Amino acid sequence: MRILFSSVPQHGHLLPLFPLARAFRERGHEVAVLTAGGMAPVIEAQGLGHLPAGPLPDVLFAEVARRTGADPAGAPTPDSVAEFFAGTRLDLTADEALAVTKDFAPDLVVAELCDFVGPLVAATAGVPVATLAFGPPLPPVFTNAMEAMARVRHEARGLSWEPRKWLLDTWPSSMRADEWQQPSGWLPLRPEAFREPGAAAVALPVSGRPRVLVTFGTFFGDPAKLSPLLRAMSTVDVDVVVTLGLATKPEEFDVDHERITFVGFTPMEDLLDGVDVVVTHGGAGTTSAALLKGVPLVVLPQGADQFFQAERVAAAQAGVALDPSSQTPEAVVGALRTVLGSVSIRENVTAVAKEIGAMPDAHEVAATLEAGL
């Protein structure tokens, strides 16, 4: 069979698709990834086929701002989020996506939760959609707004808006809100920390002190924002390891470079062993990776969906979350000390890790999808 994976062109959206894409490929299927051409190096490193279509986020953000004046990353509202994912991106990507996927002729489209290009391709081809959700469920006010806007785009092309056949859910059940109800077609899928075949090992400090990994993803790691927090953390008796975004450099950080180790873009699978606490913006991939490895968190949400992850981590007592107004250097150090010293937090996150480990893996889910086609 031909399996098409489709994603918004951002690492946090794209990377969670890779375990299932690899599983389908290893099971003998032809696999291709549909997203912007600028993501080619990430996809090629996985050994996967790439069907490039549409612009990168900088173009999309600029167009959303031109249309609405809104910032869906920094201050997300249902309307601005819908405009970004199901309006602007669909408008600027659909024609190219339909052209590059015509010959591929997928039998199944797997689209991440915020991708509405893949479902349009699936509706055109008359094939089912499996939606892969990363992180806790988005509030219905967001998902309803996105789906309503996507429906308008479908109808404008003479296509009906077809509900997904499956929802592939990577979030542990124990960390859901009490009001969550299992949707139709729900399939749990064990998340995996991002890995890259053949990636070189990263040398990290080994001192006997606790190791703290600070990672704000590829988009939110502003040196001006992080430097005061890093200076404060470096006064604690720990080894601080900081991941760089795609464009930042170590010299941009105003810190004591003898106390802090910077690493470039590195798969989370290669960073988490030996880590005692992850200090993070709360991206879904980073949060899931820490949880599955049993590493407690200090979550400092900056925007987008990070507030949902932060709230769930705090509710499960798998770490400490601070809202933006509380993210002072002193408060961050206090949160770090709390997590380092808390036996109950470590026990809670260990229990979550065991729960995640019992979820069906990518090969099991691929087999279920095969049987359902």
Query: 114 and 261: one domain?
Result: no
Same domain? For 137 and 225 the reply is no
* Beta-strand pair 2-6/30-35: parallel
* 134 and 273 inside one domain: no
| 99-118: pLDDT as tens digits | 999 999 999 999 999 999 99
Give the residue numbers spanning the domain of 218. 211-357
Regarding whether 38 and 157 lie in a shared domain, the answer is: yes
Q: How many domains does the chain have?
A: 2
Same domain as 216, residue 137? no
Same domain, 37 and 153: yes
Residue 189 counted as domain residue: no
Rounded Cα gap, residues 348 and 166, in angstroms: 30
Sign of CA pseudo-dihedral 299, 301, 304, 310: positive
- Looking up residue 121, the CATH number of its domain turns out to be 3.40.50.2000
Pairing relationship of beta strands 49-52 and 260-263 according to DSSP bridges: unpaired
**Residue 294 within a domain:** yes
Gap between the terminal Cα atoms of the chain: 10
Q: Are 109 and 130 in contact (CB under 8 A)?
A: yes
Q: Examine residue 182 and state whether it is found in any structural domain, yes or no.
A: no
Residue 140 resides in a domain: yes
Buried b (16+ CB within 10 A) or exposed e, 74-95: eebebbbbbbbbbbbbbbbbbe
Are residues 135 and 236 part of one domain?
no
Find out whether 210 and 277 touch, Cβ atoms under 8 Å. yes
Q: Give the three-state DSSP class for 241.
A: strand
220 in any annotated domain: yes
Q: Are residues 130 and 40 in the same domain?
A: yes
Residue with tokens 């988490």: 272
Whether residue 9 sits in one domain with residue 155: yes
Is there a domain that residue 32 lies in? yes
- Per-position pLDDT tens, the chain of length 373: 999 999 999 998 999 999 999 999 999 999 999 999 999 999 999 999 999 999 999 999 999 999 998 887 777 889 999 999 999 999 999 999 999 999 999 999 999 999 999 999 999 999 999 999 988 888 899 999 999 999 999 999 999 998 899 999 999 999 987 777 888 899 999 999 888 877 766 778 778 899 999 998 766 778 888 899 999 999 999 999 998 877 788 888 888 888 899 988 888 888 888 999 999 988 888 999 999 999 999 999 987 788 889 999 999 999 999 999 999 999 999 999 999 999 999 999 999 999 999 999 999 999 999 999 8
Looking at the fold, whether 140 and 289 belong to one and the same domain comes out as no
Do 121 and 24 share a structural domain? Answer: yes
**Does residue 202 form part of some domain?**
no
Q: Is residue 61 part of a domain?
A: yes
Residues 218 and 346 occupy one common structural domain = yes
